Amino acid sequence: MQSQCDLRGLWLLLLSLFLLLFEVARAGRPVVSCPPACLCASNILSCSKQQLPNVPLSLPSYTALLDLSHNNLSRLRAEWTPTRLTHLHSLLLSHNHLNFISSEAFSPVPNLRYLDLSSNQLRTLDEFLFSELQALEVLLLYNNHIMAVDRYAFDDMAQLQKLYLSQNQISRFPLELVSERAKLPKLTLLDLSSNKLKNLPLSDLQKLPAWIKNGLYLHNNPLECNCKLYQLFSHWQYRQLSSVMDFQEDLYCVRSKELHNVFNLSFLNCSEYKESAWEAHLGETFTIKCDTKLANLRAPGL
């Protein structure tokens, strides 16, 4: 009699577990435990500093933040996660050994908004590399070994607001990122400091609206000293743009292998910068263009 009761109790327990698993699966929440090398807190997975050579398998589909920084990852292939992580908004991959990223690597994370790839070993940014990340707002690529940036590397990233490319080996200024507003219409910060830029498209940069120049950081580059460069940065200084005011001492140029601060080029006899002035007489129509440091600002009634 006791044996029959025990069997009946065991059968009811197994049935209850089966029904529970069925309900969870039916609700669309896969039964996936926390990966062994990670710490999990609700929808946050921290797998940092575990010397991981590969991304852990079977990541929960409800993961919102995934920290894989400070590991030994060298390649991010298309199949790095078999699970489509549609809830993931932040992916941290800094301080690894990444030297290859597949053009399909970001297909499983279409809603990513923050991506940190800093302090890796990336050398090139190929075309359409980030085109799957149409919701991305912040992209960190500083402290890599990037020498070449394809003109189409950042296509289809209409939501991108901040792009950090400092501390690399970039020698060509990617003018298309700031001049073609249809490419990155919301970009307000582009950090190209501490690279190998020698020449800038000065005339094109001068034509940019102030709210773009305000977030265009170019300090610590071996720029060629000339009067046009002095005029450009003197104008930005006059306008109190953050990209110049925050790093005045680090804005230098090179002349005969010597470094000079761009605001102290007396040896070139450059004419002093003066803001343009307009004159209008009573009864004349006069239109003033508002070139503000704030993006998308509209005057009342316009």
Higher pLDDT, 41 or 10: 41
Can you tell me whether residue 5 is helix, strand or coil?
helix
Give 23's pLDDT tier (boundaries 50, 70, 90).
very low
* Residue 221: pLDDT over 70: yes
Looking at the predicted structure, is the pLDDT value of residue 189 above 70? yes
C-alpha closest to that of 234 among 221, 255, 251: 251
Residue 33 has a pLDDT of 81
What single-letter amino acid sits at 165?
L
Q: Which residues contact 11 (CB under 8 A, 6 or more apart)?
A: none
Least-confidence region, from 33-37, 136-140, 245-249, 281-285: 281-285
Secondary structure (DSSP) of 180-237: -TTTSTT--EEE--SS------HHHHHHS-HHHHTTEE--SS-EEP-HHHHHHHHHHH
Cβ–Cβ < 8 Å for 80, 74:
no
Whether residue 188 is predicted with pLDDT greater than 80 in this model: the reply is: yes
- Give the separation between CA 138 and CA 296, rounded to whole angstroms: 19
| Residue 120 · residue 93 · CB < 8 Å | yes
Closest to 229 in 3D by CA, of 207, 262, 198, 251? 262
Between 180 and 17, whose confidence is greater? 180
Identify the band that residue 282 occupies on the pLDDT scale cut at 50, 70 and 90: confident
Q: What is the mean pLDDT of residues 176-186?
A: 84
pLDDT computed for residue 185 by the predictor = 92
In this prediction the pTM is 0.84
Count of C-beta atoms within a 10 Å radius of residue 24: 12
* Whether the predicted pLDDT of 276 surpasses 70: no
pLDDT at position 301, please? Answer: 41
Residue bearing the bigger pLDDT, 194 or 27 = 194
Say yes or no to pLDDT of 288 above 90: no
**pLDDT > 70: percent of the chain:** 80
Above 50 in pLDDT, residue 13? Answer: no
Determine the Cα angle at 148 with ends 142 and 150, to 5°: 105
Residue-wise pLDDT for 67-99, tens only, equals 999 999 999 999 999 999 999 999 999 999 999
Number of H helices, E strands in the chain: 6, 16
pLDDT at 253 over 50: yes
Q: Report the pLDDT value the prediction gives residue 286, as an integer from 0 to 100.
A: 63
Please tell me which residue, 292 or 238, carries the higher pLDDT value.
Answer: 238
Q: What is the pLDDT of residue 58?
A: 86
What the block records as the tokens of 152 is 């189409």
The owner of tokens 């149409």 is: 134
| Least confident range of 11-25, 26-40, 161-175, 194-208 | 11-25
How many percent of the chain have pLDDT more than 90? 70
Q: Which residues, other chains included, contact 274 with Cβ-Cβ below 8 Å and sequence gap of 6+?
A: none
What is the pLDDT confidence band of residue 240, given thresholds at 50, 70 and 90? very high
pLDDT at 280 over 80: no
Cα of 82 vs its chain's centroid, Å? 25
Q: Which of 85, 88, 91, 92 is nearest to 70 (CA)?
A: 92
DSSP three-state, residue 16: helix
Q: Is the pLDDT of residue 16 over 60?
A: no
